[in-house]
A and B are shown apart, each in its own frame.
Chain A
């Protein structure tokens, strides 16, 4: 799929892994930080009109509300820049960059989607080619010309079969894969996720596989598009018209020269421990580690599925008195659905605290700083030391059910332990 999309977007019949092509870009996604850095470079060093402003989307997701005057200034500069160039702007409270872009209908199958955010490959969940580029690509070629240079990646197909153990979810399988394959082990590759386990998942669970591919070093990743992709895309504002460029039938294996097969049958709850996302261990191995903070949020978290999973764990239980449990919906649509279905009140009464739709504690720009010796367990996508406050605090990444179970127990706890 990566080769097909790059060939079409560069006006070629076919392309070969390793060659460099210049291709048309369909979407540029920027959040409030990368948008600021890119706009500054653009105004200072390029200063041409934005060629296709309708293709550019900025989402304020690191700030649901600026905590300092400096940060308020940054948002003000971004707003003025967005107005001046007539690009799309989703302001504070819209949700996480990638979730909000999808929910607003900006992403369609077959598109080339670029952004500075390293998790831009997540749009492979819709059959788009999502690639993270740097600010200078955006300022130098995407904004003025609507194009970018790409080295064509080789494709690695990852087939997952089996049914994980009780208590484990798609996020546990995705974390387990990062550990099994190894951080940086698939550098520069395009990953095609397939196999009966992945293909049996609903859309928002599939989302987690291209999300976590970034830590394998991949350039992009996607779930082989099929009827689940088609059905999901039809629910978006773009509607059925956006299916025109959906690439199906990739399972011919013409692009993938390597196939990795995994059986998820023995996978239980997993936790990515400090200092990197690849330091994944079975949750049972770190059970008992005290946590002061628990959070559903970030690029991969705050999905309706996460909120519902937490509500199931918390039913009839309360958040431990030593733990603050933050819930950050990934989009306004998710919050609305949680409100309609009673999840907002149920989790509030269980002791959790709701935050506005945003990317939550990601890098502690507007919430979630940790003090020396504190620990957080969350559905976030990153856990590097110093990312959220003190370098001597610890960040653990886990499924929503494990996060909720840990919030109840006050220590890292497998979900089935709370239910027992």
Chain B
């Protein structure tokens, strides 16, 4: 499961409240997606392109566990998200909504905004193609990879209900 794209870098302890602000929660996704992370980088929702890669610092996606934050990030078209660490509900939601996620402890030191990155989520490897640097993290659990391949948890449960019944 390999992704290649341009890096958008964000900081530490970013809450889901700042991915999708409270006033947009009930809006349609076409509207929500115009405001993702806009407080932290106003260019991001305007200029993000399909396949780009978001790299954040520690405890990314803390606060509310609502899946809409991960759905909005997926809806921007990014290929995957990397963080030094994720808040656990955010990490869980990424796989459940079909957005590949990888933890790389030193990710912040390895990338700059705009670098070309290659990320292998199932192997747990982040490569900076611009600088040649490389970092690794825990490979995604096979169950989570199966979930991604199915297109998320709801589709997995529909395809293989015996797991949950």
Contact = CB atoms under 8 A, between A and B. Distances in A.
Interface stretch (B46-54, B56-64, B124-132): B56-64
A37 B67 contact: yes
A144 interface: yes
Given A116-B66, A135-B66, A136-B154, A219 B88 contact: yes
Nearest to A278: B13
Given A147-B164, A183-B13, A217 B66 contact: no
Contact of A386 (B17, B62, B96, B157): B17
B149 to A, nearest CB: 15
Nearest to A382: B63
Given A36-B26, A187-B88, A391-B39, A134 B13 contact: no
Contacts of B161: 145
Contact of B59 (A183, A365, A382): A183
A140 B88 CA distance: 18
A118 interface: yes
Interface in A228-281: 275-276, 278
A183 B84 CA distance: 13
B99 to A, nearest CB: 11
B68 A137 contact: no
A22 B160 CA distance: 13
A217 B15 contact: no
A74 interface: yes
A179 interface: no
Contact of B157 (A141, A151, A365): A141
- Among A70, A118, A183, A387, max chain B CB count under 10 A is at A118
Given A133-B92, A139-B154, A118 B63 contact: yes
B18 interface: yes
Contacts of A276: 13, 15, 62
The main secondary structure of chain A at its interface with chain B is mixed
Contact of A137 (B58, B59, B86, B96): B96
Contacts of B89: 118, 132-134
B52 to A, nearest CB: 23
B87 A184 contact: yes
Interface footprint category on A: 35 or more
B92 A184 contact: no
Interface footprint category on B: 35 or more
Contacts of B62: 118, 183-184, 215, 217, 276
A136 B22 contact: no
B93 interface: yes
A217 B58 CA distance: 11
A166 B25 CA distance: 43
B87 A145 contact: no
Interface of B: 13, 15, 17-18, 21-22, 25-26, 39, 58-59, 62-68, 70, 85-89, 92-93, 96-97, 141, 143, 152-154, 156-158, 161, 163-165
26 contacts: A33-B25, A34-B66, A37-B25, A70-B26, A116-B66, A118-B65, A118-B89, A133-B65, A134-B92, A134-B93, A136-B97, A137-B153, A140-B157, A145-B164, A147-B165, A149-B143, A183-B13, A183-B62, A184-B58, A217-B87, A276-B15, A382-B17, A382-B63, A384-B18, A386-B39, A391-B39
Given A134-B67, A382-B15, A382-B17, 4 more contacts: A145-B157, A187-B86, A364-B22, A386-B39
